Structure 1
Amino acid sequence: MGVGSDEGRAVRREAERVVNEVAQGLRTLNDGSSWFSALSQAERRAVLQEVGGYAMQAHITAADGQVGVARSGVKPTANPSVMICMDPPRYGFAARPADEHVKAFRVLVSVFSVADKRRRQTFCKGACGHPWHNLPL
């Protein structure tokens, strides 16, 4: 899957939808992880890069990392958990070995969910124009 390919764009659009549905409680983390697990290794890497970008844009904090890791079901000592809880958080999850990708996805989505909820309740409260914050129920 080429990064600029139509297939790549479709996977990134789908990732945006799935991740935001999980973040807003419209889909479970297990459902999102199942979707992620069904992707090819190249698609998983692209999704991890995309979700890492969402987490950066949400301005995650070390505290968000700790809460998100607790929600993710991933051990706090696992590499993705340690990376996201650093201050500042470390990224580069797509470069991790393939056997860590599902854990990385669970951690990233969980931490993004915490930070995104905080931002929806503060920064975007009442005047949000972000389409991903206004998903249909």
Structure 2
Amino acid sequence: METIEKQINLIAQNRIEFNEGVKLILSNSEFDFKKTFESLKFFIFNSIPEKTDYNSASYQKAILSIPLKQTFTPIVILTKFSTKIAFIKLSELPESEYEKIIISLLWIFKITDTERRETECKNGCGHDWHEII
């Protein structure tokens, strides 16, 4: 698992405070938006139990609780479009939106993965990312 992936999972597991984690990711000299976006997309899609449309109550709850204004472009896209279409549209946004996209997706993963750890993975799961120390 790469460093950015470890950081994302540590943030999702509350081992790194969310705002500090965002700063850590965005200020990394090796920050690569596309790579970070793809990692978050992969993690989110795998944390959502409903694989037919990648929508769930925890996913919707996460979108509605993103700690940004609900009128910001990434949140509007996540709210108005199906999950797969929203991710395509997010990947096409300009660089000026990157920070808001990362915050939004990191928050969504934090919420959806927390639910997954508390339900499906409660008694152990073998996911190596849930075993990060």
Q: Report the TM-score range of the alignment, normalised by the length of the smaller protein.
A: 0.7 to 0.9
The separation in 2 between residues aligned to 1:68 and 1:88, in whole angstroms, is 14
Q: TM-score, with normalisation over the residues of structure 1? A: 0.76
- Aligned: 1:55 with 2:52: no
Give, in angstroms, the shift of residue 106 of structure 1: 0.7
How far apart are residue 127 of structure 1 and its match? 2.7
Which secondary structure state, in structure 2, belongs to the residue aligned with residue 75 of structure 1?
Answer: coil
Give structure 1 stretches of 5+ with no counterpart. 1-11
Q: Is the aligned partner of 1:29 residue 2:18?
A: yes
Match of 1:75 among 57, 69, 92: 69
The Cα shift of 1:71 comes to 4.3
In the comparison of the two structures, how many residue pairs are matched? Answer: 125
**Identity across aligned pairs (percent)?**
23
Distance change >3 Å, CA 79–CA 27, structure 1 → 2? same
The answer for the alignment partner of 2:96 in structure 1 is 99
Alignment partner, residue 117 of structure 1: 114
SS in 2 for 1:116: helix
Alpha carbons of 1:127 and 1:88: their partners in 2 closer, same or farther (altered >3 Å)? same
Q: CA RMSD in A?
A: 2.4
Q: Distance in 2 between matches of 1:43 and 1:67?
A: 28
| Cα distance between partner residues in 2 of 1:67 and 1:135 | 26
